[in-house]
């Protein structure tokens, strides 16, 4: 057995059975080892697809997948979606093949400072330079990735460590996830703080059970229940507690916190604006607001919420079931798009939302749809939706609905090919408004006035017009184009009833 084989055996022994791969020469022994390993390799045509898929896999399953990347450029190409994974606290095991140890000093064309690129992911990093160290390092990487909090663990595998022989032996096991207890002092402070002018702010991975506990605590204490703008994954729909989401626009979000004297953080960071804007505060809470962290970002929220529920004497609550909206008719626009999605959504779907301005009404519209899960752009690095949908579909085996704006879709369209190749049950709605519409809004928000002439051209995706259905077909995915709400509903229902991926190009005007 060689080092690559030891790595694969360690991954498999620890339940890391999927690798999203874009290999090159330095990874060939790893590829060869796949023949004998209980690890499924999913080929991606661009590294940002591989890393985003690992993020989606982790959000849905709670478990890490591996990536296989090729030296510094491979890691860099995957970096943006690893940044999103870092902000989602997704466990990811990055395998980055590198030159042989003795080749590194020669400054060959592909030589670069991989450690520097990885360091900006603020996760875990090591470099395996001896075959005998690889299995141990791989187990340490998995331990680090799983946390909690989940993080991106990057293992650089030198080519000679990969191809050199090792003594066969049992694969080392990663440490079980740490389960930190609930901080009694923080708990007591929370109990004291919760009341009519307080709120609980939830974030991270939120299932119906955790949401219900939080809802009970708030019902008992009179606190408001809030959620960060961009949680990693949250369960939603009829019968699920629905927290008040922080509005993306900090001009409005500041009002949400204006009456809050005490804020309890449960899996969310202290709320701040996504960007800074001239003459708008960056911190969303008042300066005199008491902020208590019960669980930090990426931590398990269920245990602490249960403890807090017990401490506050929270009683069971009724959660409204409601009804999804009726099917919309007429022109397609941001409102009818949202209604169409909500009216047709089957139970169990995982939504990857990168709909941006076109999705302004979406989250609200789906409030009473059948139970589903919702993923968001945690780190703000555009191009996450299609890759995360790939990983979510591999992890869950259930239907994934990717809602993707045209500008965002063009960062990582290669994900479509992997959907086709792996016959993944993904429905993509490609929202074609022909514009970087969010930038029209943001330009006004930062006060970059008088720029209409330039922005009219620099935010315009209409010359030439992107043919998103054609793009999908060129990558092997069945596609259709719709221009009315009614057609969108029909196309969605057809897609849900058909195995494999579909792209629905939805042409609509800019939302505002």
Q: Of 64-93, which residues contact a copy of itself (CB under 8 A)?
A: 71-73, 76-77, 79-80, 83, 87
206 CB-contact burial (10 Å; exposed 0-12 / middle 13-18 / buried 19+): buried
Closer Cβ to a copy of itself, 43 or 317, answer by number: 43
Q: Which is nearer to a copy of itself, 12 or 31 (CB)?
A: 31
The beta-strand segments (E) located in 136-223 are 152-158, 198-202, 205-206
Among positions 258, 275, 313, 330, the unique one binding a copy of itself when judged by CB under 8 A = 275
CA distances to 39, 220, 507 from 36, rounded to whole Å, are 9, 56, 47
Q: Which two tokens stand for residue 253?
A: 């979000």
Question: Residues 6, 13, 34, 403: which binds a copy of itself (CB under 8 A)?
Answer: 34
Q: Are 436 and 378 in contact (CB under 8 A)?
A: no
In whole angstroms, the minimum distance from the beta carbon of 481 to a copy of itself comes to 12
Instruction: Enumerate residues 422-451 that contact a copy of itself by CB under 8 A.
Output: 439, 442-443, 445-451
- Reading phi first (left if > 0) and then psi (alpha if -120 to 50, else beta), residue 173 is in beta
- 117 lines the binding site for a copy of itself (CB under 8 A): yes
Q: Smaller CB distance to a copy of itself: residue 11 or 381? A: 381
Does 283 help bind a copy of itself (rule: CB under 8 A)?
yes
Can residue 413 be called a binding residue for a copy of itself (CB under 8 A)? Answer: yes
Range 150-209, binding a copy of itself (CB under 8 A) = 159-160, 163
CB 292 to a copy of itself: min, Å: 18
332-391 residues in contact with a copy of itself (CB under 8 A) are 378-383
Residue from 173, 188, 255, 474 touching a copy of itself (CB under 8 A): that is 474
User: Considering only residues 12, 41, 220, 302, which one is a binding residue for a copy of itself as defined by CB under 8 A?
Assistant: 41
- Asked if 287 touches a copy of itself (CB under 8 A), the answer is no
Q: Nearer Cβ to a copy of itself, position 8 or 341?
A: 8
Looking at the Cβ atoms of 328 and 359, the one nearer to a copy of itself is 359
- Please choose, out of 126-134, 318-326, 338-346, 417-425, the segment that lies near a copy of itself by the rule CB under 8 A: 417-425
Q: What is the DSSP letter of 178?
A: P
Cα atoms found within 13 Å of the Cα of residue 307, Cβ hemisphere only = 19
Binding to a copy of itself by residue 421, rule CB under 8 A? yes
Alpha-carbon dihedral angle through residues 480, 483, 485, 491, given to the nearest 10 degrees: -10
Nearer Cβ to a copy of itself, position 116 or 326?
Answer: 116
Q: Could you please report the per-residue DSSP string of 257-274?
A: TTT-SEEEEESSPPPB-S
Q: Which pair of structure tokens corresponds to residue 494?
A: 């057809």
Residue 159 C-beta: closest distance to a copy of itself, Å: 6
Number of chain residues interacting with a copy of itself (CB under 8 A)? 101
For a copy of itself, the closer of residues 32 and 319 by Cβ is 32
Q: Is 247 in the site for a copy of itself (CB under 8 A)?
A: no
**Closer of 315 and 453 to a copy of itself (Cβ):** 453
Segment contacting a copy of itself by CB under 8 A, of 97-105, 126-134, 167-175, 200-208? 97-105
The answer to the question of residue 311 lying near a copy of itself (CB under 8 A) is no
Question: Number of H helices and number of E strands within the chain?
Answer: 20, 19
Q: CA angle at residue 185 from 182 to 188, to 5 degrees?
A: 95
Contact 22, 53 (CB under 8 A): no
Q: Should residue 499 be labelled a site residue for a copy of itself when binding is judged by CB under 8 A?
A: no
- Closer by beta carbon to a copy of itself, 209 or else 483: 483
CB of 485 to a copy of itself, least distance (A): 25
Q: Whole-angstrom Cα distance, residue 418 to residue 410?
A: 15
CB nearer to a copy of itself: pick between 184 and 454: 454
Three-state secondary structure of 76-135: HHHHHHHHHHHHHCCCEEEEEEECCHHHHHHCCCCCCCHHHHHHCCCCEEEEECCHHHHH
Between CA 216 and CA 209 the distance in angstroms is 11
Closer residue to a copy of itself, CB minimum distance, 342 or 430: 430
- Provide, rounded to whole angstroms, the least separation between the CB of residue 12 and a copy of itself: 15
Q: Which two structure tokens, joined as six digits, stand for 343?
A: 């009216």
Q: Which of 1, 12, 31, 291 binds a copy of itself (CB under 8 A)?
A: 31
Element (H, E) at 13: helix 3-13
Secondary element (H or E) of residue 429: strand 426-432
- Mark the segment that binds a copy of itself (CB under 8 A) among 169-177, 389-397, 412-420, 426-434: 412-420
With residues binned 3-state (H G I as helix, E B as strand, rest as coil), the percentages for the chain, rounded to 5, are 40, 20, 40
Which residue, 230 or 337, is less far from a copy of itself as judged by CB?
230
> What residues numbered 209-238 form the site for a copy of itself, per CB under 8 A?
230
Segment interacting with a copy of itself (CB under 8 A) among 28-36, 56-64, 178-186, 231-239: 28-36
Can you list the positions of beta strands (E) in 198-289? 198-202, 205-206, 224-227, 233-236, 244-245, 262-266
Question: Residue 131 interacts with a copy of itself (CB under 8 A)?
Answer: no
Residue 295 to residue 300: CA distance in whole angstroms? 7
**Whole-number minimum distance, CB 140 to a copy of itself, in Å?**
22
Per CB under 8 A, the list member of 1, 12, 43, 302 interacting with a copy of itself is 43
Among 239, 269, 325, 346, indicate the residue that binds a copy of itself (CB under 8 A).
269
CB burial of 268-288 (b: ≥16 within 10 Å; e: otherwise) equals beebebeeebeeebeebbeee
Q: Specify which residues 292 forms β-bridges with.
A: 264
């Amino acid at each position: 057995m060689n080092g690559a084989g030891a790595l694969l055996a360690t991954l498999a022994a620890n339940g890391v059975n999927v690798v999203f791969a874009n290999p090159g020469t330095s990874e060939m022994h790893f590829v060869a080892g796949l023949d004998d390993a209980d690890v499924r390799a999913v080929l991606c045509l661009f590294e940002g697809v591989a890393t985003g898929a690992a993020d989606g896999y982790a959000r849905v399953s709670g478990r890490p997948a591996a990536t296989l990347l090729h030296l510094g450029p491979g890691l860099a190409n995957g970096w943006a979606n690893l940044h999103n994974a870092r902000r989602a606290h997704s466990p990811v095991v990055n395998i980055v093949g590198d030159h042989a140890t003795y080749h590194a000093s020669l400054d060959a064309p592909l030589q670069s400072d991989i450690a520097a690129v990885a360091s900006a992911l603020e996760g875990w990093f090591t470099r395996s330079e001896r075959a005998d160290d690889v299995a141990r390092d791989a187990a340490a990487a998995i331990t680090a990735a799983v946390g909690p909090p989940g993080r991106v663990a990057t293992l650089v595998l030198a080519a000679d460590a990969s191809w050199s022989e090792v003594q066969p032996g049992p694969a080392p096991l990663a440490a079980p996830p740490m389960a930190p207890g609930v901080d009694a002092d923080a708990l007591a402070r929370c109990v004291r703080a919760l009341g009519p002018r307080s709120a609980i702010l939830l974030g991270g991975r939120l299932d119906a059970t955790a949401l219900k506990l939080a809802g009970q605590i708030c019902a008992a204490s009179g606190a408001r229940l809030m959620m960060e703008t961009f949680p990693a994954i949250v369960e939603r729909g009829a019968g699920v507690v629905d927290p008040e989401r922080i509005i993306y626009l900090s001009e409005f979000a500041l009002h949400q916190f204006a009456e809050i004297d005490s804020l309890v953080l449960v899996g969310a960071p202290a709320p701040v604006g996504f960007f800074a804007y001239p003459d708008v505060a960056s911190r969303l809470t008042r300066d005199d607001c008491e902020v208590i962290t019960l669980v930090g970002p990426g931590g398990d929220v269920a245990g602490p919420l249960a403890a807090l529920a017990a401490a506050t004497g929270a009683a069971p609550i009724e959660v409204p079931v409601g009804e999804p909206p009726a099917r919309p008719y007429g022109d397609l626009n941001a409102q009818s798009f949202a209604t169409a999605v909500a009216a047709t959504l089957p139970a169990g779907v995982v939504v990857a939302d990168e709909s941006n301005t076109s999705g302004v009404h979406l989250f609200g519209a789906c409030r009473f749809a059948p139970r589903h899960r919702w993923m968001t752009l945690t780190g703000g690095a555009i191009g996450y939706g299609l890759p995360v949908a790939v990983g979510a579909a591999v992890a869950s085996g259930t239907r994934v609905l990717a809602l993707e704006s045209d500008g965002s879709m063009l960062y990582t369209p290669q994900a479509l090919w992997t959907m086709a190749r792996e016959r993944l049950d993904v429905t993509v709605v490609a929202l074609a408004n022909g514009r970087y519409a969010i930038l029209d809004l943001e330009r006004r928000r930062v006060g970059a006035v008088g720029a209409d002439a330039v922005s009219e051209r620099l935010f315009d995706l209409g010359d030439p017009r992107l043919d998103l259905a054609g793009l999908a077909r060129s990558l092997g995915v069945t596609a259709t184009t719709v221009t009315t709400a009614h057609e969108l509903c029909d196309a969605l229902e057809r897609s849900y009833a058909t195995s494999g991926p579909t792209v629905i190009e939805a042409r609509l005007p800019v939302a505002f």
